[in-house]
Structure 1
Amino acid sequence: MSETAFTLVGGPTALLEYGGWTFLTDPTFDDPGQYQGAAGTLVKTTGPAIRVDDLPAVDVILLSHDQHADNLDTSGRRLVEGGGTKVLGTLETADRIATVTGVAPWERSVLEAPDKATVTVTAVPAQHGPEGCEPVTGTVTGFVLTGSDLPTVYVSGDNASLEVVGAVAKRFAPIGLAVLFAGAARVGLFDNAALTLTAQDAAEAARVLEAAAVMPVHAEGWQHFSEGHGELRTEFAAAGLDGLLRIPTPGEKLSL
């Protein structure tokens, strides 16, 4: 069986090798710059560790949502809209982007191919802010990957809710690898509430998920991420879970 490996590209974007398949999360490949949106200006501060033209062959793109440039920037959108790669996303995203296959919460997609493991991708809920945020921040999805003799992988997407994490844990714990979108993103909405997991909540999510390893993403590379790797290290240590946390260096492949 092929190894499970993880490579952070930057921000929410990572390559995940799993069961012989290569997955790409939320594609963002632009150089640093500014993006105007409904919530104001988002500022990207670092470029990708891997350029879009240097990507390996990608089998599936896991797109948590398309509404915000820090999860789908200009280069990433071209990749998604170009066709040729299977893209899973929300039903709402599929309505906006023809190349996206929309999946509802808890809906399963089975991937089968010669010389690869059969992998099930289950769409799971995500809540991009406090309760009731969806009319403003939009619908988001996470994903869980499962396969025979493979670790269960949870990709949270832009989720700020521990209640949502609990629902995922109820169905899938223990989790072999939790890819948690952290960074406590704040843009002034909802009294400047965190729109993704805080470091403290990420540590609690790891406990609830019974995670064997945690890879944080969405914690560097953009100005509106209010917490980073330092806060994650502190909170995981305070919770006695620092042995689970693996801080990825952009561009470095980590085997699990």
Structure 2
Amino acid sequence: MSAVRLTHIGGPTTLIEAGGWRILTDPTFDPPGRRYAFGWGAFSRKLAGPALDAGAVGPIDAVLLTHEHHGDNLDDAGRALLPSAGTVITTTSGAARLGGNAVGLAPWSSTTLERPGMPAIEVTATPCRHGPPLSHPITGDVIGFALTWDGQRHGALWVSGDTVLYGGVRQVAHRVNVGLALVHLGGVRFPVTGPLRYTMTARKAVDLCRAVRPHTAVPVHYEGWKHFQQPLSQAQREFARAPDVPVRWVPIGSPTDLET
């Protein structure tokens, strides 16, 4: 099973279909216009709605939730979807807050998705730091995910999660053979914290991809919110200046078949 169908719904939210599994990342389905608090005086407004409504996505077997405490990764409509998903995999602290069908993982711990007649998928949490050094008390726990199953041609499917480029996320290059990478961009900044970044710019993502060496990098988490500070056109120019990084810009709302 090497074929994967991705549907980028908007922001970080992506539907992954592989081997009969339907897996959703970071559900965000609220309409645009609302202002959200991100803690410590940071606010942002949602500028664009999802390409698909939550009701149009269909049944979900598992949700990969990089963190549950920021509205651009889990909003109200996304939260309402969680009980109907088979399993929600997130941080250990997030799982304790969510309860119910949530399973918590610490970085480099794993769980397995299993269902009769479908290939088992091992899900391993990978490290993230959602901001500059010493920002963890403000930004909280965040993880990425490496998904492996039998038949992958190029390697694991990796979701970077909301992270800056730092030593922890660089460990992925040494511990995971990555085939398809969903890389969170945006260069997030807030007026209250000035020039500090809370996710990667495209230039930093290029540096990470050069270390991780995915077969295909698919950028997500770059549009739809006021605090995303690097527009798509600028991100595309950065990747275009790095022909050694194999990137695929997946159209939002359009199912796209790729290999992992």
Class of the TM-score when normalised by the shorter of the 2 chains: over 0.9
CA distance in 1, matches of 2:42, 2:197: 16
Residue in 2 aligned with 1:109?
111
Task: Compute the displacement of 1:237 (Å).
Answer: 2.0
Residue in 2 aligned with 1:96?
97
Check if 1:220 corresponds to 2:223.
yes
Please tell me whether the aligned partners of residues 162 and 205 of structure 1 are also in contact (alpha carbons under 8 angstroms).
no
Residue in 2 aligned with 1:188?
191
Residue in 2 aligned with 1:85?
86
RMSD: 1.6
Corresponding residue SS for 1:88:
strand
Task: Compute the displacement of 1:201 (Å).
Answer: 0.7
Number of residues of Structure 1 aligned to a counterpart in Structure 2: 253
Task: Compute the displacement of 1:65 (Å).
Answer: 0.5
Gap runs ≥5 in structure 1: none
CA distance in 2, matches of 1:224, 1:206: 23
Q: Which amino acid aligns with 2:95?
A: A
Check if 1:245 corresponds to 2:247.
yes
Corresponding residue SS for 1:154:
strand
Corresponding residue SS for 2:31:
coil
Select which of 200, 204, 212 maps to 1:201.
204
Please tell me whether the aligned partners of residues 62 and 85 of structure 2 are also in contact (alpha carbons under 8 angstroms).
no
Gap runs ≥5 in structure 2: none
Please tell me whether the aligned partners of residues 35 and 41 of structure 1 are also in contact (alpha carbons under 8 angstroms).
yes
Corresponding residue SS for 2:191:
coil
Residue in 2 aligned with 1:40?
42
Please tell me whether the aligned partners of residues 178 and 211 of structure 1 are also in contact (alpha carbons under 8 angstroms).
yes
CA distance in 1, matches of 2:73, 2:159: 13
Could you give the per-residue CA deviations for residues 209-252 of structure 1, whole angstroms, max 9, x where no partner exists?
A: 1111111111011111011322222112222236x111121110
Q: TM-score, normalised by structure 2?
A: 0.92
Select which of 64, 67, 71 maps to 1:69.
71
Check if 1:157 corresponds to 2:158.
no
Task: Compute the displacement of 1:41 (Å).
Answer: 2.4
Task: Compute the displacement of 1:77 (Å).
Answer: 1.1
CA distance in 1, matches of 2:44, 2:144: 22
Residue in 1 aligned with 2:21?
21
Please tell me whether the aligned partners of residues 203 and 241 of structure 1 are also in contact (alpha carbons under 8 angstroms).
no
CA distance in 2, matches of 1:5, 1:180: 16
Q: TM-score, normalised by structure 1?
A: 0.93
Would the alpha carbon gap of residues 236 and 162 (structure 1) be closer, same or farther in structure 2, given more than 3 Å must change? farther
CA distance in 1, matches of 2:86, 2:160: 21
